[in-house]
Amino acid sequence: MSDAVLRLDHVNVVRDGTFLLRDVSWEVSAGQRWVVLGPNGAGKTTLLQIASGRLFPTAGSVELFGHRLGTVNLLDLRYRVGVVSPALVETPPREERVLDAVVTAGWSVLGRADEEYDQVDLDRAATLLTQFGCRELRDRRFGTLSEGERKRVLIARSLMTDPELLLLDEPASGLDLGAREALLRRLTRFAADPAAPVSVLVSHHVEEIPVGVTHALLVRGGQVRAAGPVAEVLTAARLSDCFGIPLDVSVAAGRYSARLTAGPPSRRRAVSAAV
Ligand SMILES: Nc1ncnc2c1ncn2[C@@H]1O[C@H](COP(=O)(O)OP(=O)(O)OP(=O)(O)O)[C@@H](O)[C@H]1O
């Protein structure tokens, strides 16, 4: 029996005559940690919408946890997918206490009213906040947090329902260097935890890939350009093809970096004109 958590088979998404995704086939299996990379407009958010069961394909089939979308109650499946994405899920109210912002996810609500939560749920929320370095923030108002703190609290919130698949949409975007590194350190630890759910992290930048990611998917123009084990996919040739510019790629201690290839002046001029 297949251990696929998510499977897309020849998926197209078409809007107003435009292919947002074209002939995308992709399988995410138990134990894997994926990164999805691609330039602006490549179709990454559309892919996450599909993966979270929020969007049906125009053509092709999607299976989540072995259930084909369209044949099962979507709400049951969505509960098993944690999502951290400003494009896909609403954020808690500014006035919400941080601990409440996490614990309310267990009830799929935003904003605590006067409902009573079990101690076990409050303890779980506190543990998740600790895991993401936010223990001391538990009584603060969500709206008073820095961008980096907010992102870590939202990851804790997404894990409250103990999801089997976690989708992270550009978790490091907008963070300063210190906050980015603090987040990546937490995500690296998380990736190494065998009890952590299967994860898919979307990014524009190889520098924002935590150590421990096992697989990579490159998308451009709604199409898959490469997919597979991270070392085979995150090469200079494949990333240059995906982003449409000549790139040098290096990896040190499991972290990637990419920069425009340093070539002869005439080549650099041609590249900057193209960029
Ligand atoms: N309803 C729509 N009709 C037509 N085109 C659309 C529609 N929705 C999205 N698009 C286009 O589909 C493409 C893919 O969008 P998507 O948001 O999935 O890309 P992305 O890779 O997440 O981009 P970014 O990195 O900039 O967030 C974009 O060019 C976008 O403009």
CB 171 within 8 Å of CB 183: yes
Burial of 164 (0-12, 13-18, 19+ CB in 10 A): middle
Which residues of the chain have a pLDDT value below 70?
Answer: 1-2, 106-115, 263-275
Which ligand 1 atom sits closest to the C-alpha of 202? 22
- Residue intervals of the chain classified under CATH 3.40.50.300 are 1-80+163-232
Residue 274's pLDDT is: 38
Backbone angles phi, psi at 111, to 5 degrees: 95, 115
Q: How many whole angstroms separate alpha carbon 117 and alpha carbon 225? A: 46
What value does the mean pLDDT of the chain take? 89
Q: How many whole angstroms separate alpha carbon 4 and alpha carbon 64? A: 8
Å from CA of 147 to ligand 1 middle:
24
Which ligand 1 atom sits closest to the C-alpha of 42? 21
Residue 91's pLDDT is: 85
Residue 273's pLDDT is: 41
| Closest CA to ligand 1's atom 23 | 41
Tell the CATH topology of 1-80+163-232: Rossmann fold (3.40.50)
Q: How many whole angstroms separate alpha carbon 245 and alpha carbon 12? A: 26
Å from CA of 231 to ligand 1 middle:
28
Q: How many whole angstroms separate alpha carbon 104 and alpha carbon 106? A: 5
Residue 17's pLDDT is: 93
Residue 174's pLDDT is: 84
